[in-house]
């Protein structure tokens, strides 16, 4: 009977792991496509807000998501942005490119319709080497939000929020 109990537990774990993988695959693939939208960006936590227009192309597999885009502000400011994520269950790791300090590492997990990530900057930004990035699936697209900590107050400040719609 003990042997059967062990097989039952292992079987349940394998079924649960397969279901989690299927859920993650479906979620990731729902973010695939072309997107365009607008948002705001702050160079520093105390800098003025700059309005931006962005376009993104998203590619997904059952275990990865790749976001590649360009944001434009004013007439002369253009920045290429990308994030490459790999999932293992609901846990995510990857790389973010778009910061003036160089490539940053991403780690986090999914909760509901959002992938909540910690950005590990290549160099100190706003007095720290980390910030929060949320990739959130919305009704007709996705929202990308970066929150940095204000070095003066210790409070979170939204330094980037881009609302994208499927095109």
Query: What is the per-residue pLDDT across 38-68, written as a single tens digit (0 to 9) for each?
Result: 999 998 888 899 999 999 999 999 999 999 9
Portion of the chain with pLDDT greater than 70, in percent: 86
pLDDT reading at 76 higher than 50: yes
- In this model, does residue 10 exceed pLDDT 70? no
SS3 at position 28: helix
Task: Give the residue from 48, 53, 49, 30 showing the smallest Cα distance to 135.
Answer: 30
Tell me what pLDDT residue 74 has: 79
Contact 58, 51 (CB under 8 A): no
Residue 80: per-residue pLDDT: 93
- The domains located in the chain, with CATH, are 2-166 (2.40.128.20)
What's the rounded mean pLDDT across residues 140-155?
Answer: 93
The pLDDT score that the predictor gives to residue 106 is 98
pLDDT of residue 19: 36
Mean pLDDT score of the chain: 86
Whose CA is closest to 135, among 47, 66, 46?
66
Task: Supply the pLDDT for residue 126.
Answer: 78
pLDDT of 6 strictly over 80: no
pLDDT, tens digit (0-9, with 9 covering 90-100), for 150-162: 988 999 999 999 9
Beta strand pairing call for 128-138 and 141-149:
antiparallel
Q: What is the pLDDT of residue 23?
A: 80
Say if residue 128's pLDDT is above 70: yes
| Both structure tokens of 53 | 């227009």
């Amino acid at each position: 009977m003990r042997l059967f109990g062990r097989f039952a537990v292992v079987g349940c774990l394998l079924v649960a792991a397969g279901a989690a993988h299927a859920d993650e695959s479906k979620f990731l693939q729902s973010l695939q496509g072309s997107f365009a939208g607008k948002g705001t960006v702050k160079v520093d936590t105390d800098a003025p807000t700059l309005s931006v227009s962005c376009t993104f192309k998203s590619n997904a597999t059952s275990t990865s998501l790749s976001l590649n885009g360009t944001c434009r502000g004013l007439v002369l400011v253009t920045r290429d942005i990308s994030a490459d994520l790999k999932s293992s269950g609901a846990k995510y790791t990857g790389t973010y490119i778009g910061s003036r300090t160089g490539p940053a590492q991403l780690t986090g997990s999914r909760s509901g319709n959002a992938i909540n990530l910690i950005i590990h900057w290549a160099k100190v930004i706003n007095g720290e080497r980390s910030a929060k990035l949320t990739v959130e699936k919305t009704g007709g697209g996705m929202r990308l939000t970066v929150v940095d900590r204000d070095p003066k107050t210790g409070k979170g400040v939204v330094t980037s929020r881009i609302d994208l719609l499927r095109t």
